Chains A and B, each alone.
Chain A
Amino acid sequence: MKKLLAYFRGYRKEVVLGPLFKMFEALLELFVPLVVAAIIADGIGGDGGAGDRGYVIGMVGVLVLLGIVGLAASLTAQYFAAKAAVGFSTSLKNALFGKLQSLGYAEYDRLGSATMIARMTGDMNQLQTGVNMTLRLFLRSPFVVFGAMIMAFTIDVRSALVFVAVIPVLSVVVFGIMLLTMPLYNRTRRGLDRLLGMTRENLTGVRVIRAFRKEEDEIESFDRANQTFTAQQKFVGKISALMNPLTYVIVNLGIFVLVYTGAWRVEGGFLEQAKVVALYNYMSQILVELIKLADLIITMTKAAACGRRIAGVLELQPSAVKLPAQESRPEPFVVFDHVSMTYGEGGAPSLSDITFHAERGETIGVIGGTGTGKTTLVHLLAHLYDASEGQVRVGGCDVRSLDPVQYTKRVGIVPQKAVLFTGSIRDNLLWGNPDADDDTLWRALKVAQAAQFVRDKGGLDVPVIEGGKNFSGGQRQRLTIARALVRHPEILILDDSSSALDYATDAALRRALREDTDGATVFLVSQRTASIMHADRILVLEDGILSAVGTHEELLQTSEVYREIYDSQYRKEGEA
């Protein structure tokens, strides 16, 4: 948390001066009741009771002057506060963004993208607001509250004791109600989230709900949740509705006591009527500022929680191990040497003791049911995770000893989920290689069976909207394949990336990949035997164990698992 303060660098002046100017403004406000008392005592009552016109005009001038100087001070303060808060959050955001990018897949698993986005957006905004409000009000509000009390003491000690009683009682009421209602408001917030969830659920599930004729049941359960929510709102509303009336009573009773004690003090000759008016004015000032202070404290608590969460991410260190550069060993291009992988701690291993190798230019098929470790295997190959045990070697060196930036450039991966980014088709393809020319891009599109529809849509400059939603699932997959091909990778990984393609397109794609990958070593992950049966070698995974390796024909003879998968997809056609 303290480390976040470092991001105020460059705004030190603003951070110090902002609150000071604000305090100065508050100080000026505290003079107002004294000036008014002077107007009453020495203006109206001046010149032996006949009144002193000149004095009154002068004092009113002072009031206006206090207002002008206060305005200037306050404007300066607002500017400094805004500048420091916005500047602070901007440098912090950039640092956090950089930190997130420096982490690895293991950390992304642990954090989850929703959390990371929340840190960058919601938390950041709330922190910025918190810093801004703190700089503006943190010195001002307490200063006015206690300043008013101190001024009261300078006027008359006995009467000032009323302040000593009223301030704590007010504080208890204001803070008490806020503290009491805060968790209740959180609860109603959750009630609202529940209504939101139900509505969303009913929209996505509309077909199923109508198919099962559940409309009335859904309305009924929504009404129940809606009813509960309203009851919670009413309850918390009743408590927070107490705030205004209670504080009103306390302040006004305080004023009455003040006037009454004041009257006795005047009678005793210790005080004048004008000073009683001044005390009355001070009392009126306290309430507004105390409520502001309570608000501020809540904002600060929330901002501090956001700050702690952000600091928590900033403290993370990428867990990837970096080994010193190694001599290359003479061996096949890709080697998995007794590799095991366990995600998180204490879980069951996702891959156990995997050993195989691939030569340059070979095509390796990877097959197995869902959750058997296919994706894990290719992620280890792309060095997106560190293996828990064993070694993954590429070109004779442990991948952990290779420069990550350089190694990334040698690998082209097509992830399961076809993600495109806002921009043009060209922008997206250039992710593969920023220096690629249009010829290269078109060649990649052709291999990926995407040239046709890209041409139909209008070429490389056709815009891609967020998430690539203006393309169908199959089109998106083909574009992500092209993106990886643009890189001319030494290792090309296709992780179940033709699932949205129909058979004809899938077949054409596989043919093109066989012919035109510039000698890349290709890893094809699939659940379909049809997609991988022509591979030079096929790895059959079951429950994280490499259960068989071989060509399609060999595996049909030797691997029961492979045969079962194959049968489940082909047997019946085979007999026909």
Chain B
Amino acid sequence: MTTNKSVLRAVWRYVGAYRPLLLLSVVFAACSVAGTLYVPILIGRAIDCIIDGGGTDFSALWRLLLIGGAVVLGVALCQWLMRVIHNRITFYVVRDLRAAAFSKLQRLPLSYIDTHSHGDTVSRMITDVDQFADGLLMGFTQLFTGVLTILGTLAFLIYLSPWIALIVVAVTPLSLFAARFISTRTFRLFRRQTEVRGEETAFINEMVGNLRVVKAFGHEEQNRVAYAALSEKLRVCSLKAIFFSSLTNPVTRFVNSVVYAGVALVGALTAMVNPLFTVGLFSSCLAYANQYTKPFNEISGVLTELTGAVAAAGRVIDILDSPEETPDPEKPEDPEWVEGAVSFRDVSFSYVPEKPLIRHFSQEVTAGKRIALVGPTGCGKTTLINLLMRFYDVNEGAIAVDGIDTRRMSRHGLRAHYGMVLQETWLKNATVFENIAMGKPDATREQVEEAARAVHAHSFIKRLPQGYDTVLGEDGGSLSQGQKQLLCIARVMLALPPMLILDEATSSIDTRTELKIQDAFARLMKGRTSFIVAHRLSTIREADLILVMRDGDIIERGTHEQLLAAGGFYANLYNSQFA
């Protein structure tokens, strides 16, 4: 966890980039506050020009009002410019922060992404940054002008009447005290409300999200009772939290009216004994009393908001400060083309040191061979893929392609030679065309269509509303799992890299369609080194080499016949299919 101080330093790195704007905004803020404070004085003087029973000095009055008008327009202009500048700084700062976080995301090691909840990372990068923006904007606009207004008012009041200033200074802390009392109280109540609401939301997500199961098991009545109890609990908490938080306004308003009364008292008494303290001055003081308490009440709110904003910024900066992938070598040995010979040289690997997985694994794979990875669910087949693609790096030993240690290549240089289809299909929120052409951005329409035809995807793509130009929603939108897999296969068909990784690439495609695209698959794999993870033993049987995995390690290897003859784990697994 980053400390507050280092968060602030990091925030300043981003805000500091806009120093000239910041300075400008301070100038405008000062001008607008000074003007705002001056106007009540002008109005006070104008009122003094009015004399009961006749004799009003109209030319002086007119002049005062003209000056007032000019000041008011100036203040308005300064206020507007100040706001626009604040907006600009805030929006730019969060834009920079977000862009930095996103490009950081592309350099984070897979181990970070696999071990941190995606929802949490998204909310740090988007929601937290947004909250930071709100806090920053509010801090800019209200904190600075608020403090200036308070100081300015005090100065004017001391100048107008020290006694009134004293009253105001003495009574206003009451308002702060009250606001504080209420906010600490409500903080607890709100936290409680958040907890209970969290329970309620979890219950709703579960039960409403799975109403079909609820219905199928006739669990409605139990749910109704459980929800009634939960919502009643929330009702009691919410009532307290909402009521207590709604006290702030009336209570501070009350303190304000006490201040107002105090000013009225002292002002009126002074006016009686001091002829220089005119009715106009009196009403200026009253106007100040109103103006003074307002920023006071706001500032405590701003401070809470700012604390929240700093906390939110801290969460993004945590991401920005996380260690990145080991950098690519400065002079990578990236071959133009590889044959596809892969060698595992005494490879050991584990995700966490306490739980060793692959231990001292060595294997030469000649170019163009087909390697099947077999084993029960969760046995670590994807671990091997992680290592081949360098999503993770080996702890010991090395993996080499065509004799070059893959760590001496750049990651891009290595990955360019692999085509990968995963069980968990992933499609971009883009058109069908763009999705298929992902591995070959310069592909023509004909080439893309050809790839789609080869995997029997052309006909359903044609039926989509805009054919190849249909924009798929997030994660493929309304396509079925099988259709998504076909598009992912087409993607690799088009790119035609020398090495393939197929992780359950056809698991969601029904077997008849699969049969139909067998030819295309056979053509694809011909002469290409392929690593295949599959449930279906028919696919596995044809492999040149079968690696049998269990509990993360490779326990048997050989061809189908060899492994059957050996009568080990693989033989058991195979025979169970015909039990």
Contacts and interface: CB of A to CB of B under 8 A. Distances in A.
A196 interface: yes
B419 to A, nearest CB: 8
A329 interface: no
Nearest to A268: B54
A81 B253 CA distance: 18
B404 interface: no
A53 interface: yes
A154 B210 CA distance: 64
Contacts of B541: 572-573, 576
B377 A473 contact: yes
Contacts of A67: 254, 257-258, 261
B576 A504 contact: yes
Contacts of A79: 243
A197 B474 contact: yes
Contacts of B46: 256, 259, 263
Interface string B44-55: 001101111110
Contact of A199 (B126, B216, B261, B268): B126
A53 B222 CA distance: 72
B510 interface: yes
B552 interface: no
A301 interface: no
Contacts of A212: 415, 438-439, 495
Nearest to A413: B216
B532 interface: no
A82 B218 contact: no
A100 B208 contact: yes
A117 interface: yes
B449 to A, nearest CB: 20
A256 to B, nearest CB: 5
A24 interface: no
Contacts of A272: 52
B499 to A, nearest CB: 11
A209 B103 CA distance: 13
B439 A274 contact: no
B264 A63 contact: yes
Q: Which residue, B201, B257, B282, B376, has most C-beta atoms of chain A within 10 A?
A: B257
B565 to A, nearest CB: 13
Interface in A233-247: 233-234, 237-238, 241-242, 244-246
A322 B504 CA distance: 45
A266 interface: yes
Given A132-B242, A211-B420, A409-B218, A246 B113 contact: no
A572 B261 CA distance: 97
Given A192-B126, A405-B218, A504-B576, A60 B264 contact: yes
Contacts of B429: 197-198, 201
B227 A94 contact: yes
A507 B481 CA distance: 25
A163 B332 CA distance: 77
B218 A70 contact: no
Contact of B52 (A75, A120, A273): A273
A422 B199 CA distance: 11
B8 interface: no
Interface residues of A, number: 157
Contacts of B56: 263, 266-267
Interface in B200-232: 200-202, 204-220, 222-224, 227-228, 231-232
B91 interface: yes
Given A51-B271, A204-B118, A280-B283, A502 B377 contact: yes
Contacts of B95: 226-227, 229-230
Interface stretch (A85-93, A141-149, A352-360, A435-443): A85-93
Interface string A126-144: 0010001000100000000
Contacts of B207: 421
Contacts of A249: 72-73, 76
B87 A238 contact: yes
Contact of B216 (A267, A382, A474): A382
B254 A71 contact: yes
A345 to B, nearest CB: 18
Given A43-B268, A474-B377, A507-B579, A86 B122 contact: no
A516 B213 CA distance: 24
Interface string B221-265: 011100110011011001100110011011101100110111011
B151 interface: no
Given A74-B253, A502-B573, A238 B39 contact: no
B86 to A, nearest CB: 8
Interface stretch (B15-23, B300-308, B355-363, B511-519): B511-519
Contacts of A214: 438
Interface string A495-533: 000001111100110010000000000000001001000
A259 B61 CA distance: 9
Given A90-B235, A280-B47, A504 B572 contact: yes
B74 to A, nearest CB: 10
Nearest to A244: B79
A273 B57 CA distance: 13
B169 interface: no
Given A204-B426, A472-B378, A94 B87 contact: no
Contacts of B213: 415, 419
Contacts, number: 404
Interface in B433-453: 438-439
Contacts of A68: 254
A382 B415 CA distance: 50
Contacts of B234: 90
Contacts of A234: 87-88, 91
A63 B257 contact: yes
Contacts of B422: 207-208
A188 to B, nearest CB: 10
Interface string A176-205: 000000000000000010011111111111
A256 B220 contact: no
Nearest to B211: A108
A499 to B, nearest CB: 9
A170 to B, nearest CB: 14
A365 to B, nearest CB: 15
A8 to B, nearest CB: 14
Contact of B279 (A40, A213, A572): A40
B80 A242 contact: yes
B481 to A, nearest CB: 8
B272 interface: yes
A332 interface: no
Nearest to B116: A203
Interface in B88-122: 88, 91-92, 95, 98-99, 102-103, 105-107, 110, 113, 118, 121-122
A418 B364 CA distance: 41
Nearest to A119: B208
Nearest to B92: A230
Contacts of B514: 568
Contact of A64 (B208, B257, B412, B415): B257
A531 B415 CA distance: 39
Given A200-B118, A229-B95, A252-B39, 13 more contacts: A40-B279, A53-B272, A67-B257, A90-B232, A101-B214, A101-B224, A117-B205, A201-B475, A208-B438, A234-B87, A253-B72, A369-B510, A573-B537
6 contacts: A230-B92, A249-B73, A422-B206, A467-B206, A503-B576, A507-B579
Interface of B: 39, 43, 46-47, 49-54, 56, 58, 61-62, 65, 68-69, 72-73, 75-77, 79-80, 83-84, 87-88, 91-92, 95, 98-99, 102-103, 105-107, 110, 113, 118, 121-122, 125-127, 130, 200-202, 204-220, 222-224, 227-228, 231-232, 234-235, 238-239, 242-243, 246-247, 249-251, 253-254, 257-258, 260-262, 264-265, 268-269, 271-273, 279, 282-283, 286-287, 290, 376-378, 389, 391, 411-412, 415-416, 418, 420, 422, 426, 428-429, 438-439, 474-475, 480-482, 495, 508-515, 535-538, 541-542, 572-573, 576-579
